[in-house]
Copies of this chain bind each other. A is one copy, B any other.
Amino acid sequence: MDFGLSEDQLLLEQTVRGFLADQVAIERVRDQRQKAGSKSCPNDRAIWSQLAELGIAGIVVPEEQGGSGLGLLDAVIVSQALGHAVTPTPFLATAVMAPTALEAVGGKLAEDWLAGIASGELVVGVAVTELFSVREDAGVRLRPGRQDGKLDGKAIMALDAFGADRLLVALDATTLALVDASAPGLEKTRLLTVDATRCTAELSFDGVDPLAVFEGAGAAIARMLEAGRIALAADTLGACESMVEQAVAYAKDRKQFDRVIGSFQAVKHMCAEMIAEVEPARSLLWYAAHAFDGVPDESPWMSCHALAHIAEIGREIASVSTQVHGGIGWTDEQNLHFWFKRIANARHLLGGPELLRARAADLQGLVPAA
C-alpha cells in the first residue's frame, strides 16, 4: 500500500544500472557506432547475452517459458536504465513488445518464441508503424486468396528488426503475422537515423511465407503498443535523467568568470527546471506501468500520455542540458549528443506527441462526433 518502487524493484534498478555502468561505458557505445556503420545493426549482442543471463531478456516472459514473469513496471526500470546508459540493445521490441503480444495470442509457436527470447537466443523485431502512421504507401498485406497466404508490401521503421531472427508484423489493428527473418522474399534495409544507438529498418515483403497469422489479435496488438509506448517513455526518461545529471555535474565543475558556472542563477534555474520536469514524469511513468499491470481500463490512454508527455519534456531537456554544457556539449567528443539523439529519435517511433494526445482524447470519449 504505497506509491513507489518495491525493495525488489530498487534492487533490480541497482543491479541493471550497476551492470551497465561497469560494462557499457560510453566508449563502448562509440565503438558500437563505429562498428555498425550504416550497413549493420548497432545492437550490442554481447551485452544482450549478458543481460539475458541477468534475466532481463525474459523479464516479462512467463516463468513457464523460462522468463522472470515480472510486470511492466519492472521492465520500465530496465528500460530507464538502458536509456540512461544509451545502451544499444533490442530490449524494446524483443523483451517488451514481442512477449506482450506473444503471450496474448498464445499457442505452441508463441511459447517457443517466448522461451527463445528469455534465453537471449532469439532477437525478435517488431513492425507496427503503419498502425498509426502510414507514409510512402507502406503497409504489409496478405496476398489475397487463401488463409495464411503470402505477405506483400513494406513496413517502415520496424524496431530492432534489422538484426533480428524473427519478426512480428502487424498487418492491421487486429491481424498479427509471425515471420522468420530469413524467409525468402524478405529484404531488410537499415534506416539510419540520427540515433546511432537504436536499430530501425525497412522490411520489404515480396511473397513471403509467414510462420503464422493470427486474426482477431486486436487485444494482443493493442497491449503490445501500450507496453511499447510505456517502455519507450521510460527509455527517454532514463536518457533525460542522465542529461540532467551530466548538466549538474558539468555545472559544478566548469569555471567561467572565476566561479563554477553552477553558482550562476541562470544555470541553477536551468537545472532546477529540468529536474522539476523529470520528477513528476517519473511518477506518471510509474503509474502508467502500474495501470498496464493492474488497471487495464486506464492503460490505453495512460500509455499515450506517458509517452507524449515524456517526449515533450525530453526535447526540452535535451536542448537545455546541451546549453548548460555550452560549446563543449556540442562537440562529438563530449558524447552528450548520444543522449540528445536517442531522445530525438524516440520522439516519433511509436507515435509523436500530437498523434498520441489525439488518441488519448479519443480513447476517453473527448472527441465529439463531427
Give chain A's interface residues, CB within 8 Å of chain B.
Answer: 264-266, 269
Contact = CB atoms under 8 A, between A and B. Distances in A.
A266 B265 CA distance: 6
5 contacts: A264-B265, A265-B265, A265-B266, A266-B266, A266-B269
A266 B264 CA distance: 9
Contacts of A266: 265-266, 269
Nearest to A265: B265
Nearest to A264: B265
Nearest to A267: B265
Contacts of A265: 264-266
Nearest to A370: B370
A269 to B, nearest CB: 6
A266 B269 CA distance: 8
A264 B264 CA distance: 9
Contacts of A269: 266
A32 B264 CA distance: 45
A173 to B, nearest CB: 24
A365 to B, nearest CB: 23
A266 B266 CA distance: 6
A266 B271 CA distance: 13
A265 B265 CA distance: 6
A71 B117 CA distance: 75
